[in-house]
Every structure is written in C-alpha cells, then in structure tokens.
C-alpha cells in the first residue's frame, strides 16, 4: 500500500560523506543528491550482507518527531554492530535539511541509514531519505494481527547478544517474511511470540496493551527494540497519573485485554481488532488521542 504515484512529490536524498567524521576535503557535512539516480555501490556491505542500521522518523506538517531519541537509538544500534555512528547534531541538521528540501506534505517518512560502507574501504555510508509516507489510514482504523513464533527466548539479550536483540539493523528480511505469512493467514500484521511463551513486538512496531486503567508493554530486556512511540505515550499517560509500565504478557493476556495497539513512528497507533481469532475491544476516541500525541501535536 503506497501513496507514491508518478504524480507524488519526489523523494529527497541527503548524503553524509565520511559518515563518522568531518569530510576529508573539509566540505559540507552533507549534500543533496539526486534520489532518482543510483547512489549506492553494489559492493556496499549493506547490499551484500545487510550490514547496517537505520531509523525511520515521522514528520507531520513538516515537523519531525522524537529526532533526539531516534538518533540516540541509531547510535546504540550502531554500537551493537561495532560501527561508529556519525555526530548526532550533524544528523539532526541533515534531517531538518531533508524535510526542508521536500515539497510540504502532511506526512513524511524520513529514513536515516548507516552502513558499514564499501567493502574494504572502512568508511561507513550514510544517507537520509525523505518520502511521502504510505497511506496508513486503514491500519489506524484497526487491523487483524497474527501471532507468530520468533523462535527466540526472552533471555536472548543475556544468552546471545550476537543475535542483536533490540538493534534496528538493516537485515529486516525476516520481519518482512513474517508480514507476508500474516497476510497468508488473512491478517495485516504480526505479533511475535518468544520461544518461552511471551508476546514481544511487531516486525516494525511496539506492543501496547490496556488492562483496566493500566497500560502495558513488553520489557526491553526481553529483546525488543526500545520504541520511541511507546516512550512518548507512556510519558503522556504518566503525566495524567495513569499507570504505564512493562510486563511480560502471554498471547492470552493480550486476547483478554481491554484493548491493544501496535505503535510506530510513521504508522502511529494501529489498534488490534483481532489477535488470531480473538476479537479485541477498539476505542476509536482514545486511539485518535494517541495519534495526536504521536504526531507531537498534543
Ligand atoms: N519494534 C521494531 C522491530 C521496529 O522496527 C519498530 C519501528 O520500526 C518499532 C518497534 C517501533 O519503534 P518506534 O516507535 O521508535 O518507531
């Protein structure tokens, strides 16, 4: 599902040369490049090995949301694969420049990509790509979700850190394969299950569950990505004195809850209408308030 048609505004590409330091020639720390012509080398290690990390930042009416937390997470992901990360202030400036260079639209998706670079060069590749977001409105209205086994235990962070739990790497082929499996099962998205029986996260989203007046999410220690969206919502809920906290939950806990959502920076809050065959309550008014918070417009 995409709104990018030939008539849609062209995406904007910013390249960050010598990604982890000042450009060797003392030139600008980033420059605009033509997003419609090839820019990436076939020997870049992200092309040959999926060796890199990334972030996707939502920008609403031209304003990017949670830039600091996204760039801090990029640094953490980069550290997990022993890749030096570029200066966050330079990247933040580049994100603003990419948005400013794009035609104004309601919803932009800004990707910050960092790879191990061309094989043998030792120089990371970094670029920022701003494009019109997909049309997420059907998901924001509610979606069916399939529970799929991820095959990893909630102890993965301690036992097997080389599996990169909680890192946002550019090896998302498994995540995309899971979404295709969900579609074969008549669902729109996935909730991953650990091998020890707990719900984790979606392939591109964080789980939020309502139980009475409490809101719950999966602990990051279980090997999920620390979501910027869930952090924003928790801060907003806690300001109103609402309890929002981590808890390991089973699929039955979610199926029997008072509502559940998958959260992410560009799709925002997508309510789960069915978890496999179990129907969940949906609260459109609360969901609409979540969208406002996640757009940074509360
Ligand atoms: N979990 C995974 C695996 C993701 O890929 C994402 C975002 O793409 C999220 C959670 C949600 O993170 P955020 O709310 O920071 O967009």
Question: Under a CB-based contact definition with an 8 Å cutoff, are residues 227 and 263 in contact?
Answer: yes
225 lines ligand 1 (CB under 6 A): yes
Please work out, in degrees rounded to the nearest 5, the angle formed at the alpha carbon of residue 100 by the alpha carbons of 97 and 105: 135
In angstroms, what is the span from residue 203 Cα to ligand 1's centroid?
A: 8
Q: Are strands 143-149 and 268-275 parallel, antiparallel or unpaired?
A: parallel
Instruction: State the closest ligand 1 atom to the C-alpha of 175, by its place in the atom list counted from 1.
Output: 3
In angstroms, what is the span from residue 205 Cα to ligand 1's centroid?
A: 4
Q: What is the pLDDT of residue 26?
A: 67
206 lines ligand 1 (CB under 6 A): yes
Averaged pLDDT, 76-85: 96
Query: Ligand 1 pocket check: which of 71, 107, 204, 228 to mutate, most ligand atoms within 8 Å of Cβ?
Result: 204
Averaged pLDDT, 72-78: 97
Instruction: Indicate the pTM of the whole model.
Output: 0.94
Domains and CATH numbers, the chain: 12-132 (3.30.470.10), 137-294 (3.20.10.10)
Minimum CA distance residue for ligand 1 atom 8 = 204
In this predicted model, which residue has the larger pLDDT, 13 or 118?
A: 118
Average pLDDT, the chain: 94
- Over residues 148-192, the pLDDT tens digits come to 999 999 999 999 999 999 999 999 999 999 999 999 999 999 999
Minimum CA distance residue for ligand 1 atom 9 = 205
Query: Ligand 1 pocket check: which of 72, 224, 235, 265 to mutate, most ligand atoms within 8 Å of Cβ?
Result: 265
In angstroms, what is the span from residue 286 Cα to ligand 1's centroid?
A: 21
């Amino acid at each position: 599902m995409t709104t990018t048609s030939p008539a849609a505004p062209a995406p904007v590409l910013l390249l960050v040369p010598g990604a982890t330091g000042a450009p060797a020639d003392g030139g600008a720390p980033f420059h605009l490049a033509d997003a419609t012509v090839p820019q990436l080398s076939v020997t870049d290690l992200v092309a040959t090995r999926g060796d890199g990390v990334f972030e996707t930042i939502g920008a609403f009416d031209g304003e990017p949301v949670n830039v600091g937390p996204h760039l801090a997470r990029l640094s953490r992901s980069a550290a997990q694969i022993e890749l030096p990360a570029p200066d966050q202030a330079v990247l933040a400036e580049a994100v603003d420049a990419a948005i400013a260079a794009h035609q104004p639209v309601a919803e932009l998706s800004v990707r910050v990509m960092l790879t191990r670079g061309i094989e043998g060069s030792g120089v990371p590749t970094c670029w920022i790509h701003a494009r019109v977001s997909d049309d997420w409105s059907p998901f924001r209205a509610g979606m069916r979700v399939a529970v799929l086994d991820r095959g990893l235990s909630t102890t993965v962070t301690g036992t097997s850190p080389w599996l990169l739990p909680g890192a946002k790497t550019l090896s998302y082929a498994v995540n995309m394969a899971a979404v295709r499996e969900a579609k074969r099962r008549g669902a729109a998205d996935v909730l991953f299950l650990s091998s020890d029986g707990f719900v984790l996260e979606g392939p591109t989203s964080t789980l939020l569950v309502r139980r009475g007046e409490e809101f719950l999410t999966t602990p990051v220690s279980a090997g999920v990505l620390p979501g910027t969206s869930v952090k924003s919502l928790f801060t907003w809920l806690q300001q109103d004195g609402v309890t929002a906290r981590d808890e390991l939950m089973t699929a039955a806990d979610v199926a029997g809850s008072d509502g559940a959502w998958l959260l992410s920076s560009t799709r925002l809050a997508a309510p789960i209408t069915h978890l496999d065959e179990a129907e969940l309550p949906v609260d459109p008014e609360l969901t609409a308030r979540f969208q406002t918070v996640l757009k940074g417009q509360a």
